[in-house]
Structure 1
Amino acid sequence: MSGFVKNIDQYRRSFAGALVLCLGVSGCAAQAGNVTSARAGLVSHTAEYKFKMTRSDQGSSIVDATGALGYRFEKVCDGWITEMQQIMILQGTEGRPINSAFSMTQWENFDGTRYRFRMRDFLNGTQVDEVVGDAVRDDASVKVTYEQPVEVVEELPADTMFPTQHSIRLLERAESGEKFANDLVFDGSGDTPTNRVAVVISDARKSENSAKDADGLTKSVFHRMNLAYYPLGEAENGPSTEMAVDLGPNGVAQALRFDYGDFEVLGTLDKVTKLPAPDCGS
């Protein structure tokens, strides 16, 4: 049983970390002073996703997976806020299903020099982890100060991106017709918060979405972005997670796909709602 629980824990943490980076993509923004068509089309929104297993290979330790995700991306007067709450029920080849829940709140300023994050991880209703911290960029490095679970300071390479920074670059690349990207990204989640993210970007595709969408946010084309996550310092072991996001030019993720090698999970957009612009005065 211990081996099964260990595998479950590895999968759920990998899912949570990839989810943060993935939905950082759907919360894409432009840096101040760099107004692009990607930023002009950006929409603050809430979204609801449903997850189900679409493939389980013979011999996989996971035989079923279902879940849901609530997501909020919003422009505020001093930056961008992202909130997400996810629950996933994982069924192994033996024993009871394991209920894994995850929540994350992020704030990133417009110029990409400051990033705050809080992640909480739950297992069968009990909180098993909490990570709280702050990251600041200067010309020489990115300095990450963790407040929980322990007070510690970490320095990352100066070219490390935060999730929103990374997302704007991906949309800009898609608009310009680029097909590949390879970036170092820090999100603050889980055991591997810093990843080398390799991306393959598709041509624009026609939307196939049937979500509840009173504001017509999913009527545009999208680019499918296939992402592979290589934890910093462990690239020789191959990607920890591979996934794909169907990303519209307005920043709405129309579908999410996670590939764990021996099984796959599909996230389908169920409902999306536009949020009003902030009132920041003059």
Structure 2
Amino acid sequence: MAEGLRAHHATYILSIGSGNGSSSVTGADGLMIYDLKNTCDGWATDLKLKLVMGTESGEGHGLEISQVTWESKDSTAYRYVIKNGDGNGRAEQMRGEARKAGGKVTVTADQPAQAQAELPDDTLFPLAHTRELLKQAAAGETVFTANYFDGTASTEAMQASAVIGTGETDWSGLPKPFPALKGVTSYPVGLAFYQGDQADGTPDSEQTMRLYDNGVIGALTFSLGNIKIRAVLDSLQLLPDSGC
């Protein structure tokens, strides 16, 4: 299970999710493309998201997100470049790296400003978190909490709290058949992310997903402020073995 992830190329159709908390947003249309590549010593990811949201006033608001990362397979190193844009050429960028050495986890960023911070020593990077989440799910655990770092919250670690549902083979919620997922077990997962001291227990962001044993996400709902966006798998290609 620890290395059960499969390199793949996936595209997702984006739309407004149910329970949308913004009455001014009337609809959304977009595409998300995700690549996971096996680089032998690590995993490289490339996520690109483009979204246009319609409002009651008739105006359209754009959003573009790009996340490029590399994570070592021994979970001791992580690099990231994250860009958040409005679709009109304006964007902010975060870039840095984190390393585990000598019992310490240190993150060093050079964008948007130079900064360095120490993270909790049990912090998990994204793919290490996914592997551990799947391990917990396979063992029948229903709750999994961990310190988590992906670079989206500057140089801070977040607490990721997961609620895991019962696994199911050949989940029926996909919009069409995907031969690459036939016979593969998947789990419904709810994730809540907390930054800093959250005395009131209110998460900074939340996600729900259908996570497969091979690391493929079949469906994902995430929040952009008080707007919920749903991503549904539209195409999937498992990439050939890199020969490592």
Q: Normalising by structure 2, what TM-score?
A: 0.89
* Structure 2 gaps, min length 5: none
State how far apart, in whole Å, the 2-side matches of 1:45 and 1:58 are: 33
Stretch deviating more after TM superposition (48-57 or 197-206): 48-57
| Coordinate RMSD, CA, aligned | 2.3
* Alignment check: 8 A CA contact 2:25 2:53 kept: yes
Change in 2 beyond 3 A, CA 1:141/1:262: same
Q: CA deviation at 1:73?
A: 0.5
Q: Residue 156 of structure 1: which of 104, 119, 127 is its match?
A: 119
Q: Residue 265 of structure 1: which of 196, 206, 229 is its match?
A: 229
* Alignment check: 8 A CA contact 1:38 1:250 kept: no
Change in 2 beyond 3 A, CA 1:125/1:260: closer
Pair 1:116 & 2:79 matched: yes
What letter matches 1:49 in structure 2?
Answer: Y
Change in 2 beyond 3 A, CA 1:95/1:195: farther
What letter matches 2:217 in structure 1?
Answer: A
State how far apart, in whole Å, the 2-side matches of 1:262 and 1:100 are: 15
Change in 2 beyond 3 A, CA 1:120/1:212: farther
Task: Please give the per-residue CA displacement for 1:81-140, whole angstroms capped at 9, x wherever unaligned.
Answer: 111000122234446211110101110111111101111121123132111111111244
* Mapping for residues 70-219 of structure 1, pairs under 5 Å: 70-94=33-57, 96-189=59-152, 194-206=157-169, 207-208=171-172, 209-211=174-176, 213=178, 215-217=179-181, 219=183
* Alignment check: 8 A CA contact 2:17 2:221 kept: no
Q: Residue 256 of structure 1: which of 201, 216, 220 is its match?
A: 220
State how far apart, in whole Å, the 2-side matches of 1:192 and 1:63 are: 35
Task: Please give the per-residue CA displacement for 1:38-62, whole angstroms capped at 9, x wherever unaligned.
Answer: 52x4311000001111335686343
- 1 or 2, which has the higher helix percentage? 1
Q: CA deviation at 1:232?
A: 2.7
Q: Which residue of 2 aligns with 1:226?
A: 190
* Alignment check: 8 A CA contact 2:148 2:158 kept: yes
Aligned sequence identity (%): 29
State how far apart, in whole Å, the 1-side matches of 2:74 and 2:191 are: 24
What letter matches 1:250 in structure 2?
Answer: N
Q: Which residue of 2 aligns with 1:245?
A: 209
Change in 2 beyond 3 A, CA 1:96/1:160: same
Change in 2 beyond 3 A, CA 1:211/1:119: farther
State how far apart, in whole Å, the 2-side matches of 1:192 and 1:52 are: 31
* Alignment check: 8 A CA contact 1:242 1:259 kept: yes
State how far apart, in whole Å, the 2-side matches of 1:58 and 1:242 are: 13
* Alignment check: 8 A CA contact 1:72 1:84 kept: yes
State how far apart, in whole Å, the 2-side matches of 1:256 and 1:81 are: 20
Change in 2 beyond 3 A, CA 1:235/1:182: farther
Stretch deviating more after TM superposition (100-109 or 132-141): 132-141
Paired residue secondary structure (1:166) = helix
Matched residue count: 242
State how far apart, in whole Å, the 2-side matches of 1:232 and 1:163 are: 19
- 1 or 2, which has the higher strand percentage? 2
* Structure 1 gaps, min length 5: 1-36
* Alignment check: 8 A CA contact 1:56 1:63 kept: no
Task: Please give the per-residue CA displacement for 1:148-178, whole angstroms capped at 9, x wherever unaligned.
Answer: 1211111111111111111111000000000
